[in-house]
Amino acid sequence: MNKNLKIAIGSDHAGFSYKEALLKWLPQATVKNFGTDSPESTDYPDFAHPVASAVESGEFDFGILICGSANGVAMTANKHAGIRAAICWQAELASLARKHNNANIVCIPERFISLDDAKAIVKIFLSTEFEGGRHATRVGKMSC
């Protein structure tokens, strides 16, 4: 992983424990925690929108969002025009999301994968380059 990456991370209550573990696991990167800061019930858009805005503005290179299924945070983040948030539950999906879709936010379903799998997904997501070429044409057609 590139040590100079700036990473925005956030979760709701259902993703809190993995977010906290990932914060401890990513010390070499510049990481900003957008919350939540407890396992108390919260609304995922309150954390997904700030992470997506931070990535969309260019202040951060990538985002990591975690909730129970990853669906809510992905749907919310993808409302932002410059965001390509991908739900990943396997390392290969993280690789393809970067290579083929130039995804800039990885969304992790805490209730469905192990912490070790989440770490592997994040590592691959942050270290995989976009292939460009024919994929760039397709990615260019995504925005409305």
Based on the residue annotation, tell me whether 88 is a catalytic residue of this protein: no
Catalytic annotation on 135?
no
Q: How far apart are the C-alpha atoms of 61 and 78, rounded to whole Å?
A: 16
Mark out the alpha helices in 1-144 (DSSP H runs): 16-25, 45-56, 71-77, 91-101, 115-127, 134-140
CA dist., res. 109 & res. 75, Å (int): 13
Using only C-alpha atoms, the chain has a radius of gyration, in whole angstroms, of: 14
Active-site pick, 13, 67, 88, 107: 67
Look at residue 32 and give its three-state secondary structure.
strand
Q: Report the catalytic residues.
A: 67, 100
